[in-house]
């Protein structure tokens, strides 16, 4: 009987020890895994931001409002690269020659075969040639999988949420805004439930978005991430 009681007591002690260790290590393990996952998501959000900036610059419109459309843009867009040779001298600029007029002279000479004006202005070694390269390769590298940009790391197939808005400044100039985001539940939902609830509650009380996001459609922030 005594042996049985001792075994029961030992089991109780072991169980209490397990509970104590769990209460200590639970938050530690949660924060460690959260850090790993957050790093991967931040990298994806930065890629989305870079893609959005290029989308606006190349398209000369607002930001893309759909993550799938943004991925398609990254896969097909071409980025103009200007190959420069030579620089205008102070004397040439004083004579009213600009890069645009110099290029125009050279293009005219190429079409007509008459190089007198180019030689007169000493532009023989000057050129500005535009070539187009893959946006994906130039911005992210040839090995980058553009399709993966749409999906939240550790999100079990969930995609990033995207939202855009066009506001205006006091002068009436259009102000283009975008926001890409993913809530905590999407990429932390399979971890410690209580720790997740604590994290959400903390952010709600501080008036912060409960997740990770880049850009803001409510308050212009120069496309900053909420981790920055």
HEC-encoded secondary structure of the chain? CHHHHHHHHHHHHHHHHHHHHHHHHHHHHHHHHHHHHHHHHHHHHHHHHHHHHHHHHHHCCCCCCCHHHHHHHHHHCEEEEEEEECCCCHHHHHCCCCHHHHHHHHHHHHHHCCCHHHHHCCCCCCEEEEEEEEHHHHHHCCCCCHHHHHECCCCCCCECEEEEEEEECCCCCEEEEEEEEEEHHHHHCCCCHHHHHHHHHHHHHCCCCCEEEEECCCCCCCCCECCC
Residues 209 and 169 reside in one and the same domain: yes
Length of the chain measured in residues: 228
Query: What is the structure's pLDDT at 23?
Result: 52
Residue 174 lies in a domain: yes
Residue 185 has which token pair?
């539940």
pLDDT at res. 216: 96
pLDDT given at position 140:
92
What is the average pLDDT value for the chain, to the nearest integer? 88
Q: Is residue 3 part of a domain?
A: no
Give the pTM. Answer: 0.76
Same domain, 63 and 155: yes
Distance of alpha carbon 49 from alpha carbon 22, whole angstroms = 39
Identify the CA nearest to 127 among candidates 170, 92, 84, 90.
84
Domain stops at, among 94, 113, 136: 136
pLDDT tens across 21-76, in order? 455 556 989 999 999 999 999 999 999 999 999 999 999 889 999 999 999 999 99
If asked whether residues 161 and 94 sit together in one domain, one would say: no
**Same domain? 132 vs 145:** no
SS3 32: helix
Mean pLDDT of 160-187: 92
Give dist(CA 53, CA 88) in Å, integer.
31
Residues 193-211 pLDDT 10s: 999 999 999 999 999 999 9
In a domain, 53, yes or no: yes
pLDDT above 60 (res 17): no
* pLDDT above 50 for 18: no
Q: Do 96 and 202 fall into the same domain?
A: no
Degrees, nearest 5: CA angle 117-118-121: 85
Range of the domain at 110: 78-136
If one counts the domains in the chain, the total is: 2
What is the C-alpha radius of gyration for the chain, rounded to an integer number of angstroms?
A: 29
- Indicate whether 148 and 92 sit together in one domain: no
Better-predicted residue by pLDDT, 221 or 83: 221
Return the higher-pLDDT residue of 102 and 10: 102
Burial of 165 (0-12, 13-18, 19+ CB in 10 A): middle
């Amino acid at each position: 009987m005594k042996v049985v009681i001792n075994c029961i007591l030992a089991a109780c002690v072991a169980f209490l020890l397990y509970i104590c260790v769990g209460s200590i290590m639970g938050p530690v393990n949660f924060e460690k895994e959260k850090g790993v996952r957050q790093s991967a998501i931040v990298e994806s959000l930065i890629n989305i931001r870079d893609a959005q900036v290029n989308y606006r610059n190349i398209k000369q419109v607002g930001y893309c409002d759909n993550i799938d459309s943004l991925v398609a843009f990254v896969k097909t867009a071409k980025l103009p690269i200007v190959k420069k040779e030579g620089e205008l001298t102070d004397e040439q600029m004083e004579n009213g020659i600009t890069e645009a007029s110099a290029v125009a002279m050279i293009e005219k000479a190429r079409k007509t075969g008459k190089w007198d004006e180019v030689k007169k202005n000493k532009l023989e070694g000057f050129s500005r040639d535009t070539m187009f390269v893959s946006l994906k390769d130039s911005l992210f590298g040839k090995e980058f999988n553009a399709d993966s940009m749409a999906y939240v790391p550790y999100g079990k197939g969930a995609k990033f949420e995207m939202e855009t808005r066009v506001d205006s400044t006091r002068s009436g100039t259009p102000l283009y805004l975008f926001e890409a985001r993913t809530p905590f539940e999407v990429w932390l939902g399979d971890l410690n439930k209580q720790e997740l609830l604590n994290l959400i509650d903390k952010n709600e009380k501080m008036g912060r978005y409960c997740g990770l996001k880049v850009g803001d459609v409510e308050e212009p922030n120069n496309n900053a991430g909420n981790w920055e």
